[in-house]
Structure 1
Amino acid sequence: MTHRSWSLSILLALLMYSCVPTSKIRDANASLPEHFQNRNVEDSTNSATLNWKDFFSDANLHALIDTALVNNQELNITMQQVTMARNEIQARKGEYLPFVNLQAGAELEKVGRYTSQGANDANTDIKEGVEFPEPLPNFRAGLFASWELDIWKKLRNSKKAAVMEYLSSVEGNHFMVTNLIAEIADSYYELLALDNKLEIIQQNLKLQGNALKIVRLQKQAARATELGVRRLEAEVFKNQSEMYAVQQDITETENKINFLIGRAPHTIARNAENFISRQMDTLYTGVPSQLLQNRPDIRRVEYELAAAKLDTKAAKANFYPSLALHAGVGLEAFKPRFLTSTPESLLYSVMGDVVAPLINRNAIKAEYANANARQLQTVFDYEKTILNAYMEVVNQLSNIENLKQSYALKEKQVAALTESINIINSLFRSARADYMEVLLTQRDALESQMELVETRKEQLHARVAMYKDLGGGWK
C-alpha cells in the first residue's frame, strides 16, 4: 500500500471516529446515612448475617422452610432463569471465537448452451474424445471457517454483560429465597395466632354458657327477665359463628402454606402453646452501608447497572469498522471418484472483509441511544432500590418499638379485664350485678384477648420483616 493510500485510510478512520456520538451518563448515588434514623449506634453486629435456621428456633417451621426450598414451584422457575442466564454466557463467548463448520454437498447443474459458461463447457475436453459432462454433477466436502476479530471489544463486552446478567439472576434467586422464607414464617405465625384465637373463643363460650345457665335460673326465680336470657343467647350464637370463621381462616392459612411448600392440602404440624408468652429475641440492625452487601435486590440491580454499562459500550462499537476473516479447504469434483485426485480436486479460499457503516446509520444511532437510556434507567432503579431498602428498615424499627409499647399496654388491659370477669361473675351469682354488666365485661375481655394475640402476631411479622429488610435469609 502506498503512502497516499495509508494516509487516506487513516483520514477515513479519523473521520468515522469523529462522527461517533458520545453520551455521558452520571454515576449512581449509592451513599447512605451513617446511622439509621433516631439510632446513633456504632455496633456493626447485624442479624442479617444469621442463617435462617439460627434466626428461627421452631423445628416445625424449619421443616416447612426446608421443604419449600426444594419444592416451591416459583422458586424452581426462578432457578431455571438462572440456568438460562448461565447458558447465555456460553452463547456470547462463542460469538468472538472462530466458527469452523464441516460442509458436504452434492448438486446437479445444467446451464444453457448459448451462454458464456455453456459455450465454454461445450468446447472443453476433459479427456481425449470425452466432452464436458452435461448436466454437470458436483460433489464437495471440506472445512470452512469464519472469524470476526473483536477489535473494539464489542463481543467481549457483550459476553461480560451476560456475566453480569447471570450474577443479577443469581441475586434475584436469593431475593426470591428471602421472600419465600419470610412468607412461610408469616403464614406459620398467622396459623399459631388463629389457633390461639380459636382457644380464646372456646374458653369464652364456656364462661358465657355458665352465665346463660345462671340467668335462666334467675328467670325461673323471677330475679331476671326473658330479655336477659335472649341477650346472652345472642352473644353465645355470635361467638359460635366467629369460631367457625376462625376455623375457615385456619384451613385457608394451612393450604396457603401447603401451596408454598408445593404439596396437596395437609395438616400443618405446629405447637401453638406459649404463643403469647414467648420471648422476642433482640434484632441487630448494624449500619446502613451493610445493606449494599446484604440486600439481594440491591446487589441484583447493581449487576444490572454493570451490564447496562457494558451493553452501551457494545452498542457504541457498532459505529466502528468490523474485520472478518473467512477461509476454507476441501475437495471438489464432478464425480466422487475424482475427490481423492489431488491436487486437481483441491479447493481452498482465504478472504478478509472490512465493513464500516458510512451512510444511513439511523438504526445504529437509535440502538446506542436506547442503550444509554437503559443505562440511565438502571441508575435510577439502583438509587430507588437503595432508598427503598433504607426506608423499609427505618419503618420496621419504628414499627417494632411501637408494637412493643402497644403490647405492654394490652397485656395490662387483658389482666384488668380478666380480673373484672371474676369479679362480675361473683357479683352476678349473688344478684349484685345484672346480665348487661356480665355481657359487656365478657365482650370487652374477649376483644382485648383477641387484640393481644393479634399484636403478638404483628410483632412476630415485624421481626420477620426486619430480618428480610436487613438482607437476611438467603445466605
Structure 2
Amino acid sequence: MRKRYIIISLVMAAFSLQSCFVAKKYQQPQVDIQDQYRNVSTTDSTTLANMPWNQLFTDANLNALIKEALHANLDLQMAIERVIAAEAYYKQGKMGYLPTLNLNANAGNYEASDNSPSGIANGGNGPNYENYQLNGSISWEADIWGKIRSNKRASRAAYLQSEASRRAIESSLVADMASAYYQLLALDAQVEVAKQTVTTRRESLETMISLKEAGQVTEAAVKQTEAQLYSTQILLLDLEQNVALLENTISLLLGRNPSTIARSNLKDQEIKIQLHTGFPVQLLRNRPDVMLAEYGLIQAFELTNVSRSNFYPRISVSANAGFESVNFEDWFDSGSVFSNILGNLSQPIFNKRSVRTQYEVSKARQSQAKHNFKKAILNASREVSNALYGYQIEQRIFEIRKKELKALSKAVQYSEELLNNAYQNTTYLEVLTARSNALSSEINLIDSKYKQLNAIVELYKALGGGWQKE
C-alpha cells in the first residue's frame, strides 16, 4: 500500500506542476508578402501551381519521360528513403509519453578468490554459489514542462520537412526534365537548319566555281564561300555534340545509362493555357522549399522549448520486480520474489553551464531558421516575378525575331540575284554577310522559341507546381 501511495503522490505532483508551466506554442511569424507580383495585377486565387504536370504538358513523349523520372530518378529515391527514416523518428517521438519496460534474465556460478575480503572473512575459503534472476523494470518520466510534447512536435516537423524536401525534388525534377526536353527539341531544330545550310552552301560553292570560270568572280570569292561552308560544318558538329550531351543528361535524370531519347519536334510544342499566378501568399502552401523552411523553423522552435525545460526539475518513477534465488529449484518460489520502487526528483544546479549553453544555441538556431524562412519567401516571390517578366519579354523577342529572319532572308535572296546578274554595285562580301546573318537569325529564332517554353516551365516551378498529384 505504501508503494501505491508513493506512485499516486508523485503522479499527482507531476500533473499539478504541469499546470504551472506549458511549453510555448508555435505561431507563424509575420511576413511581408505583397498582394501582387511585380508588374502583374492579380484578382483571382487560381494558380498554375495547382495544375498537375501531365495537364500542363501535352507532349506524350515528355509526359512519359517525366513519369519514368519520378519512378527511377536516384535523387528522388534517396529523398524517399530520408522520408522513411524521418517517419521512423516521428513514430518514436509519439511514444515519448509511454514508460520504458525491460525484462532481464540471468543465471551463473560465482566463485570468489580465497584472498578476497569475503574469502579471508570465511577462513581463506572464497564463497562459491549460484545465482538465478528474472526481473522486469519499468521507468516513466512525467512531462511536467512539456519537454516530451515539444520533442514529439519537433520530430513531426522534421518528418514534414523531409516530406517537403521530397516534394521540392519532385518539382525540380519535373521542371528540369521539361526544360531539358524542350532544349533537346530546339537543338534538333537547329541541327536541321545547319544541315540544310551545309547543303545550300555546297551548292553555292559549285555556283561560285562556275562564276569564276566565267570570269564574273575572283578566286577570293570562291575561297570565302568555301570557308563559309567549313564554318557551317563546324557549327553542325557542335550542335550534334550538344544533342548527344543533353541526351546523356536526360538519361541521368531517368536513372539509366546514356541512350537515345524518344521525342517529337519543336514546332508542335504549344502551351495554350492561361498562366494564372494567384496571390503571393499562396506560395506558403504551394512552394515546397518555403514549406521546408517553415518546418525547419517549427523544429527549431520546439527544440528551444526542450532546451528551456532543462532548467526545471525532472520527476521520474522507476520500479523493479522479479525472482531471485541461489538455488535453481527455488527460483520461482514465492520466497524468491523481490520488488522495489523509486521516485526521483532532480534539479540542475551546477553543470558547467551546459544547460544554458544548449538553450542559447537553440535560440540562435531558431533565429537562423526564422531568417531562412523569410529569405525563402522573398526568393520565391523573386523567382515568380523573374519568370513572369521573362515570359513576357520572350514573347516579344520571338515576334521581333520572326520579322528579323524574314528581312534577312529577303536580303540574301536579293544580294544573290544581284551577284548572279553581275550587278556592279554588289560585292560578294555583302552576300556572305547576308547569309551569315540569316543563319544566325534562324538559329536565334529557334532559341527564342525554346526560351519562351522554358519561361513557362520556370513560372510553373516558381509558383510551386510539379509535385501535385492528379
Which TM-score applies when normalising by structure 1?
0.88
Match runs of 1:38-437 below 5 Å? 38-111=39-112, 134-274=127-267, 278=270, 281-342=273-334, 344-360=335-351, 362-432=353-423, 433-437=426-430
Secondary structure, in 3 states, of the residue corresponding to 1:45?
coil
2:179 & 2:456 partners in 1: Cα distance? 10
Q: What is the aligned partner in structure 2 of residue 4 from structure 1?
A: none
1:421 & 1:205 partners in 2: Cα distance? 15
Q: Please give the per-residue CA displacement for 1:172-195, whole angstroms capped at 9, x wherever unaligned.
A: 110110001111111111101100
Change in 2 beyond 3 A, CA 1:281/1:90 = closer
Tell me the CA shift for residue 212 of structure 1.
1.2
1:273 & 1:39 partners in 2: Cα distance? 29
- Across the aligned residues of Structure 1 and Structure 2, the Cα RMSD in angstroms comes to 2.6
Which letter does structure 1 place at the counterpart of 2:282? Answer: Q
Secondary structure, in 3 states, of the residue corresponding to 2:267?
coil
Structure 2: 5+ residue stretches without partners: 1-13
Q: Contact 1:393 / 1:469 at 8 angstroms: preserved in 2?
A: yes
Q: Contact 1:175 / 1:297 at 8 angstroms: preserved in 2?
A: yes
Q: Please give the per-residue CA displacement for 1:7-45, whole angstroms capped at 9, x wherever unaligned.
A: xxxxxx9xxx9xx9x999997332311111222321222
Secondary structure, in 3 states, of the residue corresponding to 2:95?
helix
Q: What is the aligned partner in structure 2 of residue 9 from structure 1?
A: none
Tell me the CA shift for residue 296 of structure 1.
0.9
Q: Please give the per-residue CA displacement for 1:426-453, whole angstroms capped at 9, x wherever unaligned.
A: 2233223443222111111000011111
Q: Contact 1:327 / 1:348 at 8 angstroms: preserved in 2?
A: yes
Change in 2 beyond 3 A, CA 1:298/1:457 = same
Which letter does structure 1 place at the counterpart of 2:93? Answer: R
* 1:459 equivalent among 426, 429, 452: 452
1:434 & 1:323 partners in 2: Cα distance? 98
2:96 & 2:266 partners in 1: Cα distance? 62
Tell me the number of residue pairs that the alignment of Structure 1 and Structure 2 aligns: 447
Tell me the CA shift for residue 256 of structure 1.
0.3
Change in 2 beyond 3 A, CA 1:296/1:158 = same
Tell me the CA shift for residue 419 of structure 1.
2.1
Q: Contact 1:28 / 1:382 at 8 angstroms: preserved in 2?
A: no
Secondary structure, in 3 states, of the residue corresponding to 2:349?
coil
Structure 1: 5+ residue stretches without partners: 1-12, 123-131
Q: Contact 2:136 / 2:321 at 8 angstroms: preserved in 1?
A: yes
Q: Contact 2:76 / 2:166 at 8 angstroms: preserved in 1?
A: yes
Which letter does structure 2 place at the counterpart of 1:390? Answer: S
Identity %: 32
Change in 2 beyond 3 A, CA 1:25/1:328 = closer
Q: Please give the per-residue CA displacement for 1:68-106, whole angstroms capped at 9, x wherever unaligned.
A: 001000110011111111011122233431111110112
1:319 & 1:274 partners in 2: Cα distance? 68
Secondary structure, in 3 states, of the residue corresponding to 2:350?
coil
1:438 & 1:279 partners in 2: Cα distance? 38
Q: What is the aligned partner in structure 2 of residue 5 from structure 1?
A: none
Which letter does structure 2 place at the counterpart of 1:416? Answer: A
Change in 2 beyond 3 A, CA 1:278/1:414 = farther
Tell me the CA shift for residue 421 of structure 1.
2.4
2:358 & 2:467 partners in 1: Cα distance? 37
1:415 & 1:145 partners in 2: Cα distance? 86
Q: Please give the per-residue CA displacement for 1:213-237, whole angstroms capped at 9, x wherever unaligned.
A: 1110011111111111100000001
Q: Please give the per-residue CA displacement for 1:308-353, whole angstroms capped at 9, x wherever unaligned.
A: 11111111111111112111221111121111322x2111111111
Q: Contact 2:56 / 2:271 at 8 angstroms: preserved in 1?
A: no
1:59 & 1:241 partners in 2: Cα distance? 33
